[in-house]
Structure 1
């Protein structure tokens, strides 16, 4: 990924839970900065450290039900301790458990405001940010034969979340990517491709 030194990439990787989003994010991150020690993964999965055999990247755990405020605190920690790339491995959990679960609470508006602040902070953070977003299948209504028609995969996050990222790539189960949005104009727009460290 060819960028100027002062540019900070804000990239989203979307895909079903079975797609290799974290592995791909780590490959891109290492290609981008060239040092595992300058990469940090923030997430709620106990598997966030499963690729340590690739290199000694850092991890910061966050509770599955953590609010956006907690993500902001950890992002600040990562940015202030000399890390160059932050991978948010569980951005779907941030929305599903940290925001939406408070829908019926008296402080939902405060949580939603924190959510918006988090993404504003990500956009202007002095580090590269790669966000991993799970998707789920959405279906059209049943057709005349009573069959459900597969429509698309939808990111488990706030609608139109793509606007907060420079580039959005969708991964299939094999790790092949297609471009959903690319403000950098670097990735091939009309074909699927295998992401690797060389794209960093």
Structure 2
């Protein structure tokens, strides 16, 4: 254990916009992305679950669109995010993540047995999705639909449902996962209901513009740069990605190990590796875990190879 002084590092914003249909969540997200990329829409991607709604704003610029189709599983969102990361995207808009929650609710309802204990089967799936958002090395903007929320109040000995406002179509507490949450009303005015940056909290409602995104970008870049913890090998060094002995333990040159790294940390690096070259670099770095973690390496390798064949990535307005 070692004490250190606190310091804020440069960040990649993880934010959410919640509002009802027609409030302008998609359009506002694109304006935020425009500011976050200094107007370079070619590094923006919309993961679209809204049946092509992302293409409605193609006049803004040449952003990219990746269309998802049902079922909207957490795994499908994770694959889509990784496709965008591999393509060099800087801002990913998840429009919307409410479809993922709808899928999980339907899946829970379909399970036999005790409804309460069945949530233990749902939580790991949702965690996979949320962890991917939080651990991604790009800016992510998620949109969430809202619906009328009710509470039961007792009146004259009876429980009567009463409207108490709007609630996001997501699990309770999802807003705690994001750095900023904007509530957007039907007139397109936004107010911050969650803000760790201090830029928008307790401020009057406003219309989101690209300048809002620039302000957030300045905040993200105001910290100190984080030093990379490892060096990945180049793609060209991988000559046998599809070979069954690709991860052959015990090679003499696999000796550059870091004995301070725990197995859980290595597993996390394996699960978040974006290329086979990066995966191989991790494998070489920790020879003492090569045999024990070989199944995890092989599973991640197969997943990355599958991603390279993912053919649903397109520019907006072109199917």
The two structures have a TM-score, normalised by structure 1, of 0.89
C-alpha separation in 1, matches of 2:174 and 2:189: 21
Q: CA deviation at 1:42?
A: 0.4
Instruction: Tell me the residue number matched to 1:182.
Output: 195
Q: What does the per-residue CA deviation read over 1:48-73, in whole Å, with 9 as the maximum and x for residues that have no partner?
A: 21100110110101124221001001
Q: CA deviation at 1:159?
A: 1.1
C-alpha separation in 1, matches of 2:88 and 2:56: 23
Q: Which has the higher contact order (CA 8 A, sep 6+)?
A: 1
1:40 to 26, 45, 48: 45
The gaps in structure 1 that reach 5 residues or longer are none
Give the structure with the higher percent helix. 2
SS at match of 1:25: helix
Q: What does the per-residue CA deviation read over 1:7-40, in whole Å, with 9 as the maximum and x for residues that have no partner?
A: 1000000011221000000000101112110000
The two structures have a TM-score, normalised by structure 2, of 0.57
C-alpha separation in 1, matches of 2:173 and 2:78: 21
The answer to whether the Cα contact below 8 Å between 1:67 and 1:111 also exists between their aligned partners in 2 is: no
The answer to whether the Cα contact below 8 Å between 1:166 and 1:184 also exists between their aligned partners in 2 is: yes
C-alpha separation in 2, matches of 1:43 and 1:81: 17
Q: Does 1:126 align with 2:137?
A: yes
Aligned length: 196
2:63 to 35, 46, 57: 57
Instruction: Tell me the residue number matched to 2:172.
Output: 159
Q: What does the per-residue CA deviation read over 1:134-190, in whole Å, with 9 as the maximum and x for residues that have no partner?
A: 000112347869996430211101110011100111000121011110011111424
Q: Does 1:91 align with 2:102?
A: no
Give the aligned CA root-mean-square deviation in angstroms.
Answer: 2.3
SS at match of 2:57: coil
The runs of at least 4 aligned residues of structure 1 exceeding 3 Å deviation read 106-112, 140-149
Q: Does 1:171 align with 2:187?
A: no
1:25 to 26, 29, 34: 29
Q: CA deviation at 1:123?
A: 0.6
Q: CA deviation at 1:121?
A: 1.4
SS at match of 2:199: coil
